[in-house]
């Protein structure tokens, strides 16, 4: 028996804002319906942004549970940090978590809808 990943579903009250953020950060293409935006990226099946009008961003890291999160890797942590912020994300941990001299470490961020994700050195 095989189990295959077909999609990662992300709730957001603002479909356009959340799907645009992930598109600006990761590239790919977006297909839109009234209730879902599907981001297809080479090498990954689909990230589906699902309209959830009552979605309230989690108040991480104050103890709120985290259902799941993205882990991203990069060969240039400092540039990735700027790209996340330019795309509309925000830092959840201070930039000191990333050693700029060696570009090693991990940054913890949130998408516009408040979903946490990490950017780690490759």
| pLDDT of 18 strictly over 90 | yes
Q: Would you give the DSSP letter of residue 82?
A: H
Q: What pLDDT, on the 0 to 100 scale, is given for residue 87?
A: 95
* More confident of the two residues 21 and 63: 21
Which of 117, 120, 92 lies closest to 105, judged by CA? 120
- Beta bridge mates, 51: 12
pLDDT tens digits, 40-94: 998 776 888 889 888 877 666 655 555 667 788 888 888 888 999 999 999 887 5
Residue 17 pLDDT grade (very low, low, confident, very high; cuts 50, 70, 90): very high
Q: What pLDDT, on the 0 to 100 scale, is given for residue 3?
A: 56
Q: What pLDDT, on the 0 to 100 scale, is given for residue 7?
A: 80
* R_g of the chain, CA atoms, integer Å: 15
- Beta bridge mates, 65: none
Which two three-digit tokens encode residue 1?
A: 């028996």
In sequence order, what DSSP letters do the residues of 5-51 get, joined into one string? ---EEEEES-HHHHHHHHHHHH--EEEE-SSEEEEEETTEEEEEEEE
């Amino acid at each position: 028996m095989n189990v295959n990943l077909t999609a990662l579903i992300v709730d957001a009250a603002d479909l356009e804002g959340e799907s645009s953020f992930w598109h600006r950060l990761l590239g790919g293409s977006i297909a839109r319906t009234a209730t879902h935006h599907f981001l297809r990226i080479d090498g990954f099946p689909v990230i589906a942004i699902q309209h959830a009008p009552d979605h309230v961003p989690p108040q991480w890291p104050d103890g709120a549970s985290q259902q799941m999160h993205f882990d991203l890797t990069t060969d240039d942590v400092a540039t990735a940090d700027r790209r996340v912020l330019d795309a509309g994300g925000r830092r959840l941990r201070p930039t000191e978590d990333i050693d700029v001299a060696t570009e090693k470490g991990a940054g913890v961020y949130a998408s516009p809808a408040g979903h946490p994700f990490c950017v780690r050195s490759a």
